[in-house]
Amino acid sequence: MHRVILTALATCAVATGASAQAHDHQKAASSEKPWSQADAYFDPAEVDAARAHVQAHSGDTPFAMVRFDRLEAQSSDGETVGVWDADAWYGGDINKVWLKTEGEYSFEDNDLEDAEVQLLWSRAISRYFDLQTGVRYDFEPKGQAHAVLGIQGLAPYWFEVDGAAFLSGSGDLTASFEAEYELLLTNRLILQPRLEANFSAQDIPEKALGSGLTDLQAGLRLRYEIRREVAPYIGVEYQSAFGKTADRIEADGGKADDTRFVIGVRTWF
């Protein structure tokens, strides 16, 4: 009887030691990475290959998107201009390549008044914000290249924000900031306030810009999503220049303040 009890105690001791050893091995493996439990039971090389396959097809798949956020006609005092604001991107959750373009075309003068394009590399720096850097080229009103450094993302309360600083080849420093918000009146009817402000660190006479806050655009657009990818809209936008910028515009016979009625379409694919 004593022999049976001693044998049982010895078996329990060996089992306990083996279990503790296995637990220590698993703990050591899991301390390296939070996902490495399988390494304690399977060939590490096979586990690494399976893990890379899952990441490539589930967590690191590149995607692409093309969007015309604003494709519209703006009318004021019998004059109509066409405005576009579009972008495209390709990449994953961390790194993307962005192409942005916006501009304005005068139907009265049959002339391109403003046009720019940006090529940017975007890197996620937090869950909601990306840091972007690259180049911008202005085709109109004056062909000029700029270095770009900006940030884009989703601010608290679901405000979409996009801010950037631009350093031109002439050494001029300017900046812009945009903010948008989407208020869902119904599942398809959406009211979108939009604000854009532009700044200049110095006077730029050839562009009729003064230092400080140069101009501000505040708009309100009501769109209906026929499909998620196609949404016509109507709206109104107020534009105002400030300081020396306003003085230069008025000296050239223009208006420093203007209210425009808007009709357009927002689309993406």
In a domain, 89, yes or no: yes
In a domain, 1, yes or no: no
H/E element, 225: none
* Residue 185 phi, psi (nearest 5): -75, -40
Burial 27-52 (b: 16+ CB within 10 A, else e): eebeeeeeebeebbeeeeeebeeeee
Q: Which pLDDT tens digit goes with each residue over 24-61?
A: 444 444 455 666 777 778 888 888 888 877 776 666 68
Rounded distance between C-alpha atoms, residue 264 and residue 75, angstroms? 11
Per-residue pLDDT, 257: 95
For 38, the 3-state DSSP assignment is helix
Rounded distance between C-alpha atoms, residue 150 and residue 174, angstroms? 12
Burial 151-187 (b: 16+ CB within 10 A, else e): bbbeeeeeebbbbbbbbbeeebebbbbbebeeeeeee
Cβ neighbours, 10 Å, residue 89 = 17
33/83 same-domain check: no
Q: Which pLDDT tens digit goes with each residue over 56-82?
A: 666 668 899 999 999 999 999 889 999
pTM above 0.75, yes or no: yes
75/57 same-domain check: no
Domain interval for residue 57:
24-61
Residue among 73, 70, 72 at smallest CA distance from 87: 70
In a domain, 228, yes or no: yes
114/242 same-domain check: yes
What total of structural domains would you count in the chain? Answer: 2
Rounded distance between C-alpha atoms, residue 209 and residue 85, angstroms? 22
Residue among 154, 137, 245 at smallest CA distance from 200: 245
Residues written for the chain:
269
Q: Which pLDDT tens digit goes with each residue over 132-187?
A: 999 999 998 888 999 999 999 999 999 999 999 999 999 999 999 999 999 999 99
Encoding tokens for residue 249?
A: 């515009």
* Domain final residue pick, 61, 77, 108: 61
For 234, the 3-state DSSP assignment is strand
55/168 same-domain check: no
Q: Which pLDDT tens digit goes with each residue over 190-218?
A: 999 999 999 999 999 989 999 999 999 99
Residue among 82, 91, 140 at smallest CA distance from 120: 91
Residue among 65, 55, 69 at smallest CA distance from 162: 69
CATH number for 232: 2.40.160.40
Residue 18 has pLDDT above 50, yes or no: no
Q: Which whole number is the average pLDDT over 93-120? A: 95
90/41 same-domain check: no
210/264 same-domain check: yes
43/74 same-domain check: no
DSSP states of 15-37: HHHHHHHHHHHHHHHHHH-TTGG
Q: Which pLDDT tens digit goes with each residue over 215-230?
A: 999 999 999 999 999 9
